[in-house]
């Protein structure tokens, strides 16, 4: 199997400047093609900038938008992952990542997990996606797309791998924070992400491509540090922190087969067991079924009774554990 050159476009999108960002994407797709890249990956909301707030509606595109068709048109003979605000026919706004291949939009992933805590406020402005799908790619590999926070939820990489992904692509706008000197490379965010990426690559025995933006939106600085990890968990490439650039790295698709034979974790997964247990847990967490392993008086979803114990009867509907 031939090697694939992956180009990481670690860019600093201009907030709300769709035309300018589109032009930059065209330019970098051209440059990646010139370097022989089979795949070029752009960060989350690379076409619009991240901290949009009420600007989101102004820069949203429908999937039939001619500007997207134009961008897809630039991918003859190659693949690209781009990200933008997608407006659905019923006018919901999604943070979307699209796989563009051979001139067409091959697949669109709508960000499933929208962080709305700490410095994030995504759920206020965006709708959450409902679908996770791995798709075949002209690269000869199954591709699973995810956007930033999607990878802070364990099931996402696993579901994508079980669905056939051999190459997991996470596009991000991750704000750097926690500069404590004790952190790896002096940045808490980088330490966390690096741990996650290596873990996912290893556990799913897949390539993991992480493309994170750089630059500044308002108060927050995005730290870059884009990576490509092998199915063994080995780091194949790490882009510098905070530097803008187009970085490319060669990967050998044969590594997936070798690793999955040597370490057959996916073979040994038990999705049917997960499904069974999840079905039970969902019912118990909703208080719709008794939890056979919980202590008396425990809240639905918890096994341990609260320390203060003996509170009176629960309102109807809040746990059906009364025996």
* Closest approach of other proteins to the CB of residue 123, in Å: 14
Three-class SS state of 235 = strand
Q: Which helix (H) or strand (E) holds 273?
A: helix 271-285
Stretch of 53-61, 69-77, 132-140, 266-274 contacting other proteins, by CB under 8 A: 53-61
Binding to other proteins by residue 74, rule CB under 8 A?
no
* Closest approach of other proteins to the CB of residue 74, in Å: 24
Footprint (CB under 8 A) of other proteins, residues 211-230: 214-219, 221
Tell me which of 32, 72, 146, 241 binds other proteins, using CB under 8 A: 241
Length of the chain: 323
Q: How many CA atoms lie within 13 A of 9 on its CB side?
A: 29
What span, in angstroms and rounded, lies between the C-alpha atoms of 120 and 51?
9
Tell me which of 242, 258, 283, 289 binds other proteins, using CB under 8 A: 242
What span, in angstroms and rounded, lies between the C-alpha atoms of 101 and 110?
18
Question: In this complex, which beta carbon is closest to other proteins, that of residue 21 or of residue 137?
Answer: 21
What span, in angstroms and rounded, lies between the C-alpha atoms of 10 and 27?
13
Binding to other proteins by residue 60, rule CB under 8 A?
no
| Per-residue mark of binding to other proteins, 113-152 (x: CB under 8 A) | ----------------------------------------
Binding to other proteins by residue 322, rule CB under 8 A?
no
Identify whether the C-beta of residue 126 lies closer than 8 Å to the C-beta of residue 87: no
Binding to other proteins by residue 57, rule CB under 8 A?
no
Encoding tokens for residue 31?
A: 């440059």
Question: In this complex, which beta carbon is closest to other proteins, that of residue 50 or of residue 151?
Answer: 50
Identify whether the C-beta of residue 266 lies closer than 8 Å to the C-beta of residue 161: yes
Question: In this complex, which beta carbon is closest to other proteins, that of residue 191 or of residue 232?
Answer: 191
Encoding tokens for residue 236?
A: 């194949």
Question: In this complex, which beta carbon is closest to other proteins, that of residue 49 or of residue 231?
Answer: 49
* Closest approach of other proteins to the CB of residue 118, in Å: 11
Q: Burial level of 186, CB count in 10 A (0-12/13-18/19+)?
A: middle
Sign of CA dihedral 189, 194, 195, 196: positive
Binding to other proteins by residue 16, rule CB under 8 A?
yes
What span, in angstroms and rounded, lies between the C-alpha atoms of 52 and 72?
24
Footprint (CB under 8 A) of other proteins, residues 169-198: 176, 179-183, 185-187
Encoding tokens for residue 290?
A: 């008794």
Question: In this complex, which beta carbon is closest to other proteins, that of residue 191 or of residue 320?
Answer: 191
Binding site for other proteins (CB under 8 A): 15-17, 51-55, 176, 179-183, 185-187, 214-219, 221, 241-242
């Amino acid at each position: 199997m031939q090697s694939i050159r992956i180009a990481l476009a670690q860019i600093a999108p201009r907030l709300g400047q769709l035309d300018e960002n589109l032009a930059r994407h065209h330019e970098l797709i051209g440059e990646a093609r010139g370097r022989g890249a089979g795949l070029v990956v752009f960060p989350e909301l690379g076409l619009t900038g991240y901290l949009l707030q009420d600007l989101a509606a102004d820069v949203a595109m429908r999937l039939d938008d001619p500007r997207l068709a134009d961008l897809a048109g630039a991918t003859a003979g190659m693949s690209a992952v781009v990200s933008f605000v997608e407006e659905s026919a019923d006018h919901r706004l999604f943070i979307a990542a699209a796989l563009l291949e051979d001139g067409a939009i091959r697949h669109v992933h709508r960000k499933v997990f929208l962080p709305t805590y700490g410095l994030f406020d995504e759920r206020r402005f965006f709708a959450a996606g409902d679908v996770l799908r791995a798709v075949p790619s002209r690269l000869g590999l199954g591709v699973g797309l995810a956007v930033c926070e999607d990878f802070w939820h364990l099931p996402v990489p696993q579901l994508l791998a079980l669905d056939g992904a051999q190459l997991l692509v996470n596009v991000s706008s991750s704000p750097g924070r926690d500069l404590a000197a004790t952190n790896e490379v002096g940045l808490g965010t980088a330490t966390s992400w690096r741990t996650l990426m290596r873990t996912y690559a290893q556990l799913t025995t897949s390539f993991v491509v992480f493309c994170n933006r750089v630059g500044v939106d308002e108060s927050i600085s995005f730290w870059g540090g884009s990576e490509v990890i092998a199915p063994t968990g080995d780091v194949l490439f790490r882009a510098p922190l905070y530097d803008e650039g187009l970085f490319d790295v060669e990967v050998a698709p044969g590594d997936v087969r070798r690793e999955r034979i040597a370490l057959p974790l996916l073979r040994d997964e038990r999705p049917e067991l997960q499904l069974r247990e999840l079905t039970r847990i969902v019912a118990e967490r909703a208080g719709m079924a008794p939890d056979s392993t919980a202590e008396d008086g425990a809240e639905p979803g918890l096994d341990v009774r609260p320390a203060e114990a003996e509170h009176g009867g629960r309102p109807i509907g809040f746990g059906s554990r009364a025996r």
